[in-house]
Chain A
């Protein structure tokens, strides 16, 4: 992604294809993208796309 300075200016960031996930360990819900989904709260990889 193209970002700028201390904070990025992605322009059309809202169009990025992020998926909704739920952590099966701590029930945290989050949006993410990439090949190795990991819960940002508890770092568990036991997450499920919802």
Chain B
């Protein structure tokens, strides 16, 4: 939303006003959907064949455990944990909430499976942690080491989930569904 700053003199004092301008802007930033999200809440965005869940990290650290190393992932309080699952409905939402709860509330470590481990295809949820997550349906789950790319279902391809103070913004255009508040469910985590 653009702002116009106006200066006015009142009794010798200079006062600044910020006026929100109502304009039709088509830029990606202005068209993003904003989600207000409290620290103890989880937001679900449900598509046709997939669901995304997000919650604030509250600035805690996360632990990545490999066979030989432990890596601590530091976060800012406004950063997001974003979990994605290929499925919709109550069962999937509960699974996503469980994943986020284990990571954030129980500070459960993330056990890193070696590449090509037979268990990988059986696992149902993918997670990204940080200030910004790019969703892509063109990567194989569990094989992308870049920090901000998360595999998601086709309708979420190329969406961005960006942390902002007090919530999150979903940027981009969903494929085949209208990205509006009807698709968002917010609950206590």
Contact = CB atoms under 8 A, between A and B. Distances in A.
A10 to B, nearest CB: 5
B50 interface: no
Interface in A17-50: 18, 30-38, 40
Contacts of A10: 64, 112, 142, 145
Contacts of B187: none
A12 B115 CA distance: 7
Contact of A9 (B71, B112, B124, B130): B112
A43 B127 CA distance: 24
B145 A3 contact: no
Query: How big is the A interface, by class?
Result: 20 to 34
B63 A40 contact: yes
A36 B178 CA distance: 36
B69 A7 contact: no
Contact of B76 (A8, A9, A35, A40): A35
Contacts of B150: 2
A10 B111 CA distance: 10
Query: How big is the B interface, by class?
Result: 35 or more
Contacts of B63: 40
Interface in B113-162: 113-115, 117, 119-120, 122-130, 139, 141-147, 149-151
A contact patch SS: loop
B145 A7 contact: no
Contact of A6 (B70, B99, B130): B99
B75 interface: yes
Contacts of A2: 126-128, 139, 141-146, 149-151
Given A10-B64, A10-B112, A4 B70 contact: no
30 contacts: A1-B64, A1-B73, A1-B129, A1-B130, A1-B146, A1-B147, A2-B126, A2-B127, A2-B145, A2-B151, A4-B120, A4-B142, A5-B124, A7-B111, A8-B64, A9-B114, A9-B142, A10-B145, A11-B145, A13-B64, A15-B145, A18-B69, A31-B69, A31-B71, A32-B71, A32-B72, A32-B74, A33-B73, A34-B72, A36-B74
